Structure 1
Amino acid sequence: MRRIRAAAAIATVTALVGAAVTACGGGSNSGGEGSNTSPRTLTYWASNQGPNLAADKKILAPELKKFEDETGIEVKLEVIPWSELLNRILAATTSGQGPDVLNIGNTWSSSLQATGALLPWDAKNFASIGGKDRFVESALGSTGAAGKDPAAVPLYSLSYALYYNKAMFEDAGISGPPATWDELVADGRKLSRNGKWALGAEGSNLVNNIHQAFALGKQHGADFFDGAGRPTFTSDGAVAAVKQYVDFMAKDKIIAPGNAEYAQNQSLRDFAQGKTAMVLWQAAATTFEAQGMKPDEWGVVPVPVASGKPGAGERVNSMVAGINLAVFKNTDNLDRARKFVKYMTGDAAQARLNKAYGSIPPVKAAQKDAAFDRPDTAVLRDTLLKSAAPLPQVPNESQFETSVGTAVKKLFADAAAGRPVTTESVKAELSKAQQQMPKS
């Protein structure tokens, strides 16, 4: 997902899945009895992708107008902050009163799929938008549980990268950005001086925590779940991954202790203001520009690996991030909703929208646009194609984000307070997280 969302909402998914399955589902009653909307009107909930809600409306308005001109279908748009989006979706799945089409974070796909409220994208539905093979495989891997028809269609794709401040590296006598974790720590010790720090983090941001722990976990050979979908949070690889991440503050001293309290993109602000030299983040160019940082002041490279170059298997360096487009299956506007999805995932609209947001089109043909050959977007695109992996597509994925993300938050708090972070203490926190998972 692009914007890091409030994890308190995520924890409610598991509790509401059972209720939502028996509810009437989402979708507006556009054109139905008692409706205040026209039968030729669609309602669309978009997630906040840009620097603010107004920016999203400015980006989306021309596309919605083009769609209306082509089809005669008006789209009523509401852009919803990430802090509210999941709760709004859950309320819609239980009440039956919601939009026709909506954005969802791709990591929510399997959990929301389990509610039964979203339209399954079977072969017929995919055929109506040009076919499933138009989409990048890695993006399709984050659309729902394996063996089931996807619960949504990829809209914007993102991956993590390492952003670095060129001037701070030059001042520290470092010739270029790190490619391995050992290099990052060595560079970080040179950069952490005079009240400035090497690496930014968001220790209280549960979702960012899980994204970092997951990618490091893959590098340590851990998946956090076994083949049957059972949690394996205390495996040696999972423990090593979490400890490595928290040790950037606890042991290596390259993350400021105050970052343990960060949860709302403060690490991006610090980076843009020259307080931190590096940050691990999803597409961030538009955010840096909005905060006054010039494009030539920063560089971007793949997230480091233990050795060698990023790739598959134990050289995965990012989760597959992004936004999916879903349809409430009980909408009275199903045909028009499919037309809207077809438009939004069309080659031309995909190129325009992803260019505006600094994300990568999950539609193969749209990636041929020259905008995605820029150094920053090329790094994100290549990561998605070669070295990103989807978060576990299990029904309890959202609870995984909450429980393990909270464990990492607690360990960062320990590090900030000077309390020891050991293999044993990491394993103990992950054991608590595993005990919080619903029994299958």
Structure 2
Amino acid sequence: MRSIRAAAVGAVTLSLALAASACGGGSASGGGSNDSPRTLTYWASNQGASIEVDKKVLQPELDKFEKQTGIKVELEVVPWSDLLNRILTATTSGQGPDVLNIGNTWSASLQATGALLPWDDKNFDKIGGRDRFVESALGSTGVQSQDPAAVPLYSMAYALYYNKKMFADAGVTRPPATWDEMVETGRKISRDGKWALGAEGSNLSTNIHQVFVLAKQHGADFFTADGKPDFTSDGAVAAVKQYVDLMAQDKIVAPGNAEYAQNQSLSDFAKDKTAMVLWQTASATFASMGMKEDEWGVAPAPVQSGTPGTGTSTNSMVAGINMAVFKNTDNVDGATEFVKFMTSDAEQKILNKAYGSIPPVKAAQTDPAFNTPATAVLRETLATSAAALPQVPDESQFETAVGTAVKELFAEAAAGRPVTAESVRAKLAKAQQQMPTK
């Protein structure tokens, strides 16, 4: 899911939802197998620069669907700060939409509620088959041993965006490919009120995304093979310390970034205050902030050494948005027909062009629009060097607990207090204690 619109994941409540009624939406009018409802309700996540932008992007496509099928889609664009809690409330009350967008990192957690329609072979066949989708995107649709809880809609990956003017002013000729180069480059830039790298230290989801990737680069994960929390391994500790040390030790992230949570680092980037940001699919956002396309460049996110690839050269999580159907909808056929429409080759090109994301549908990726210098890096990352966040039922609690630990460590760094391996391990141990017990 996009950290630019990251959810305020109060997801410790998810364990309560798991024990509650596992029912779903079903707000379509009409009902019964002989009286197919002619209206579907759809909760779309806020993908554009504003909710109004999303409405302008989506409404013409929904009108097109109605013209083709006779089914009207009532649209509500839900801010990321509200989306997860809205979904959790719907799973317990049974009053929700027929179709909705979810951040792909929530897939396993929401799958565990039992509220979402499973995408078995029969349901995939209704939308053209499972093999239409990129395998890495399918890897973030739920627990691997179960039928997916959702279908990929928009795919995204992290990349390193750099401000060409600030690079030129500092005499930097190319973006850093490794973290050592990042620190070296950063120290050339971080002076006279300018800073090398932006961060969103109070954004829990962004914190998770970054430390998850760094843990992969240190040969670690935050969960064991059987899905148990493993937050205090040496690799996990090293990953969190390395990320926070960009502020605490390396001094290439401004202390004020410890309080950032709502895209302030992107604003600093657009205003020539910060030279680099690690972000998901950011070109449309920069354009909305008044930047011209030739003012910024894009490169793969750094690795420890060498070049990006699988395993310890992972440099992004598999980011994106999935589309799900509530199991108790009054119109499963209409809902799956809508998913088929939104994931059709033609619509995938239209929607992903509008949002600057990458289609998770293979055939749609052949469009030249997804082979520009900016999107080519994202496509290559998704294909070769991105890994899915752990698809475990407690993933949302993980985002909250570890994301908060990183936030607190950034606050310590901003205050000038030392961040040590011991203090990092203590924060992560506290986070692990907050996870549900089996």
The answer to whether the 8 Å contact 1:5/1:83 transfers is: yes
Q: Does 1:235 align with 2:236?
A: no
TM-score (norm 1): 0.97
3-state SS of paired residue (2:96): coil
3-state SS of paired residue (1:288): helix
What is the letter of the counterpart of residue 190 of structure 2? S
The answer to whether the 8 Å contact 2:36/2:331 transfers is: no
Q: CA deviation at 1:27?
A: 2.2
**Taking every aligned residue pair, what percent have the same amino acid on both sides?**
74
Q: Map 1:163-178; keep pairs closer than 5 Å.
A: 163-178=161-176
Q: Distance in 1 between matches of 2:31 and 2:131?
A: 35
3-state SS of paired residue (2:114): coil
Aligned to 2:17: 16
CA separation of 1:188/1:101 partners in 2, compared to 1, >3 Å: closer, same or farther? same
Cα RMSD between the aligned structures? 1.2
Q: CA deviation at 1:71?
A: 0.9
The runs of at least 4 aligned residues of structure 1 exceeding 3 Å deviation read none
Q: Map 1:130-209; keep pairs closer than 5 Å.
A: 130-209=128-207
What is the letter of the counterpart of residue 10 of structure 2? A
Aligned to 2:322: 324
Equivalent of 1:349 in 347, 350, 368? 347
Q: CA deviation at 1:88?
A: 1.0
1:301-352 per-position Cα deviation (integer Å, ceiling 9, x unaligned): 0100011110001100000000000000110111000100000000010011
What is the letter of the counterpart of residue 157 of structure 1? S
Equivalent of 1:245 in 238, 243, 264? 243
The answer to whether the 8 Å contact 2:9/2:396 transfers is: no
Aligned to 1:222: 220
The answer to whether the 8 Å contact 2:112/2:393 transfers is: yes
1:8-38 per-position Cα deviation (integer Å, ceiling 9, x unaligned): 43332223211143xx3322142149xxx99
What is the letter of the counterpart of residue 27 of structure 1? G
TM-score (norm 2): 0.98
Aligned to 1:7: 8
Q: Does 1:27 align with 2:4?
A: no
CA separation of 1:178/1:85 partners in 2, compared to 1, >3 Å: closer, same or farther? same
Aligned to 2:118: 120
3-state SS of paired residue (2:10): helix
Q: Distance in 2 between matches of 1:131 and 1:6?
A: 31
Q: Distance in 2 between matches of 1:413 and 1:388?
A: 29
Aligned to 2:435: 437
3-state SS of paired residue (1:11): helix
Aligned to 1:335: 333
Q: Map 1:375-394; keep pairs closer than 5 Å.
A: 375-394=373-392
Q: Which runs of 5+ in 1 are unaligned?
A: none
Q: Distance in 2 between matches of 1:301 and 1:8?
A: 30
Aligned to 1:69: 67
The answer to whether the 8 Å contact 2:208/2:402 transfers is: yes
CA separation of 1:208/1:20 partners in 2, compared to 1, >3 Å: closer, same or farther? farther
What is the letter of the counterpart of residue 198 of structure 1? A
1:210-252 per-position Cα deviation (integer Å, ceiling 9, x unaligned): 0000000000011110111111110000000000000000000
Q: CA deviation at 1:287?
A: 1.1
CA separation of 1:397/1:158 partners in 2, compared to 1, >3 Å: closer, same or farther? same
1:34-81 per-position Cα deviation (integer Å, ceiling 9, x unaligned): xxx992111111000000001000001111111111111111111111
Q: Distance in 1 between matches of 2:12 and 2:6?
A: 12
Q: Distance in 2 between matches of 1:340 and 1:232?
A: 40
3-state SS of paired residue (1:7): coil
Q: Does 1:104 align with 2:105?
A: no
Q: Distance in 1 between matches of 2:126 and 2:37?
A: 20
Q: Which runs of 5+ in 2 are unaligned?
A: none
The answer to whether the 8 Å contact 1:26/1:94 transfers is: no
The answer to whether the 8 Å contact 2:217/2:314 transfers is: yes
What is the letter of the counterpart of residue 358 of structure 2? I
What is the letter of the counterpart of residue 228 of structure 1? D
Equivalent of 1:411 in 409, 412, 422? 409
Q: Distance in 2 between matches of 1:102 and 1:6?
A: 15
What is the letter of the counterpart of residue 7 of structure 1? A
Q: Distance in 2 between matches of 1:249 and 1:348?
A: 44
The answer to whether the 8 Å contact 2:8/2:80 transfers is: no
Q: How many pairs does the alignment contain?
A: 435
CA separation of 1:415/1:79 partners in 2, compared to 1, >3 Å: closer, same or farther? same
Q: CA deviation at 1:386?
A: 0.5
What is the letter of the counterpart of residue 159 of structure 1? A
3-state SS of paired residue (1:279): strand
3-state SS of paired residue (1:157): strand
Aligned to 2:295: 297
Q: Distance in 2 between matches of 1:8 and 1:48?
A: 15
Q: Distance in 2 between matches of 1:280 and 1:136?
A: 23
The answer to whether the 8 Å contact 2:9/2:399 transfers is: no
The answer to whether the 8 Å contact 2:17/2:91 transfers is: no
The answer to whether the 8 Å contact 2:7/2:83 transfers is: no
Q: Distance in 2 between matches of 1:118 and 1:378?
A: 33
